[in-house]
Amino acid sequence: MVNIIWGAFIIIGIIYGLITGNIIAINNEIIESGNAAFNLIKDMTPLLVIWMGLMRIAEVSGLIKKIAKLMTPLLSKLFPKVPEGHESIGYIASNVAVNMAGLGSAATPFGLKAMAKLQELNHDKKRATSSMITFLVLNTSGVTIIPTTIISLRLVYGSTSPTIVIPACIMATICSGIGGLTLDYFIRRKNDNC
Amino acid sequence: MTTASFVILPLLVLYIIFYGFKKRIDIYDEFLIGAKEGLITTFKIIPNIVAMIFAINILIKSNIIHDMFLFMEPYLNKLSLSSDILPMAFLRSISGTSTLAIMANIFEVYGPDSIMGLLASVIQGSSDTTFYVIALYYGSIGITKNRYALSVGLFADLCGIIASFLIVYLLF
């Protein structure tokens, strides 16, 4: 599916650009999009390096295992294939918690560690497991209690009540999460071989 | 409420270091091991991020999404919306930076407290950028067979966007 979408984006973009005479913008984009990608990576790397370091301390000291044990009763329903008290649960719980606090970019290292730990349980290293997919859904529709970026932008543009959208954001993201997890649950039940 | 989120990270760091001391870990050495691992991870995901941004930016710069929704303008006007909001709903799963830019633009044109501004805020908050998250997380561990991850992720986004419209009309 990613193959098709990725190819379609490029083909549609270039052909539409040719038709509408917008090809200069496309040309510039082909040259410069690598720059945009590297800027994103440049912004992300320092945070990732620091947090991967801190998380290593948390892991070796047993803190992650402790969180995992604490959260297993809550998360084992969503991740039936993950053994009880497995470290991935600790990272998943931390990722969700940091996401909730509205610290999206600080949540990424936890998510990457969770994925790496889930990969240890995987037999076919190229193929995503159902636990990984459930975690992705949980992550992308992750409930954010304090959407920091949105609130600060609202403030910048002179909103009289920047935080008024918080309940609505929480409700919308819960709907998205429930929708995704429900579909995920039914797909998993239909082919629960892995 | 926003100040709370500034306290969380320092407290978390404090707790991790404190816990490491308590368990008598070589915290400095372990930090370096983890940091090195982090550097390797970022290195591994560079191709995935470059590939994603390359395709997404070509699509966005061709203006097709914006043009596609222009013809729906008359219907949207009846709901006191403008066609600016639909590209945002459509792009939410694809590109976080471009929806953020659209949201800022809507704030500037209509004001953050208008129905458009509120809707833009809620759509932005309704989900994360599915394409980016999948490219990043699967890229970091070398997964190439996505299986149904994208379909489920996009379905979740769709639920979130429909809910955003309903909630904004019910609440405001």
In a domain? residue A3? yes
* pLDDT per residue as tens digits for the range B118-152: 999 999 988 888 888 898 899 899 998 888 999 99
What is the residue range of A70's domain?
62-190
| Rounded percentage of chain A residues whose pLDDT exceeds 70 | 96
Same domain, A126 and A176: yes
- What does the pLDDT read at residue A192? 61
Question: Which A residues, 100 through 119, put their C-beta within 8 Å of a C-beta on chain B?
Answer: 101-104, 106, 108-109, 111-112, 115-116, 119
* pLDDT per residue as tens digits for the range B63-103: 888 888 877 777 777 776 777 788 888 888 888 878 888 89
pTM attached to this predicted model: 0.85
Give me the torsion for CA of A58, A63, A69, A73, rounded to 10°.
Answer: -70
Domain total in chain A: 2
* pLDDT per residue as tens digits for the range B33-60: 999 988 998 888 888 889 888 998 899 8
In a domain? residue A171? yes
* pLDDT per residue as tens digits for the range A127-160: 999 999 999 998 887 777 778 788 888 988 999 9
Same domain, A38 and A67: no
Same domain, A68 and A118: yes
Question: Which A residues, 72 through 101, put their C-beta within 8 Å of a C-beta on chain B?
Answer: 98, 101
Same domain, A171 and A114: yes
- What does the pLDDT read at residue A10? 94
CB–CB of A22 and B62 under 8 A?
yes
CB–CB of B125 and A104 under 8 A?
no
Same domain, A39 and A102: no
In a domain? residue A56? no
Same domain, A100 and A156: yes
Over chain B, what is the mean pLDDT? 87
Same domain, A114 and A20: no
Same domain, A96 and A142: yes
- What does the pLDDT read at residue B3? 61
What number is the ipTM of this complex?
0.85
Render B48-112 in DSSP notation, one character per residue. HHHHHHHHHHHHHHTTHHHHHHHTTHHHHHHTT--TTHHHHHHHTTT-HHHHHHHHHHHHHHH-T
CB–CB of B111 and A157 under 8 A?
yes
Name the strand (E) or helix (H) holding B170: helix B149-171
Set of chain A residues whose Cβ sits within 8 Å of the Cβ of B122: 165, 168-169, 172
Q: Does A34 touch chain B (CB under 8 A)?
A: yes
Same domain, A40 and A76: no
Same domain, A3 and A88: no
Same domain, A115 and A183: yes
